[in-house]
Amino acid sequence: MERVTEPELMSEKEQALAYANANFEEPHNHFLELLTNLIEKKLIFSGDVLDLGTGAADIAIRFAQSFPSFHIDAVDGSNTMLDEARKVISKHELDDRIDLIHSPIQNIKSLEKEYVIIMSNSLLHHLHNPMVLWKLIKKAEGTPIIIIMDLMRPKNMKEVDELVHKYARGEPEILQKDFRNSLKAAFTTEEIFLQLQNAGLESLNISTVSDRHLVIDNC
């Protein structure tokens, strides 16, 4: 199945509300489990963290609650999503631990801090040009922990329909539609392997971690 791109930013109020209220506990906790394993492996328990494509900041919040010694810069290109993130961060009293930064990834020219963790979940498939992300990661190649989780593109529409039914059948229509579009916009492991080669990031590992997710990391 050929890739079909989707909008890079979620700027509609209805979308932001749907994502802020959705239940992503299973995939987001899975992401945190994988990240926790890397933290324990590298013995890094404090420092600055960069969360690229934070959206409604659910993972940033879960991370901050689990690891109180880290500070998080959470970046997203959609002000609408960041408005929803701001509400939840304040609700959990994490304003001093999570800084929200409005910036499309294309506008991040350099990293101002020496981050100990760069993480991203469900950003890659939104990018029309994935090399934008990999060039940024290349500049930060010395970061102790880099972890990027994203969807994998199914082989055909039958698999797309099966995944939407399995994981989103009880969700609002807008989330079902977005999930379907995201699956069609995602990359295959082979495509990501070539992207990493072109970016000079052959040292990064690619692994399949669920029936719909893959992870790229440096550990």
CA distance 148 to 216: 5
Domain that holds residue 193: 13-217
Instruction: Give residue 150's Cα distance to chain centre.
Output: 6
| For the chain, percent of residues with pLDDT exceeding 90 | 85
Domain count for the chain: 1
Report yes or no on 100 lying in a domain: yes
- Conformation bin of residue 98: beta by default, left when phi > 0, alpha when psi is -120 to 50: beta
Q: pLDDT class for 159, splitting at 50, 70, 90?
A: very high
| pLDDT tens profile 21-48 | 778 899 999 999 999 999 999 999 999 9
pTM greater than 0.85: yes
Specify the range with the lowest mean pLDDT, choosing from 169-178, 182-191, 195-204. Answer: 169-178
Report yes or no on 194 lying in a domain: yes
Q: How many other C-beta atoms can be found within 10 angstroms of the C-beta atom of residue 1?
A: 14
Report yes or no on 133 lying in a domain: yes
- Per-residue pLDDT for 11 more than 90? no
| pLDDT tens profile 79-98 | 999 999 999 999 999 999 99
Q: Which pLDDT score, from 0 to 100, does residue 219 have? A: 87
- Conformation bin of residue 103: beta by default, left when phi > 0, alpha when psi is -120 to 50: beta
Report yes or no on 5 lying in a domain: no
What are residue 147's DSSP bridge partners? 119, 217
Report yes or no on 2 lying in a domain: no
| pLDDT tens profile 99-142 | 999 999 988 866 778 999 999 999 999 999 999 999 999 999 99
Report yes or no on 120 lying in a domain: yes
**Domain at 164, CATH number:** 3.40.50.150
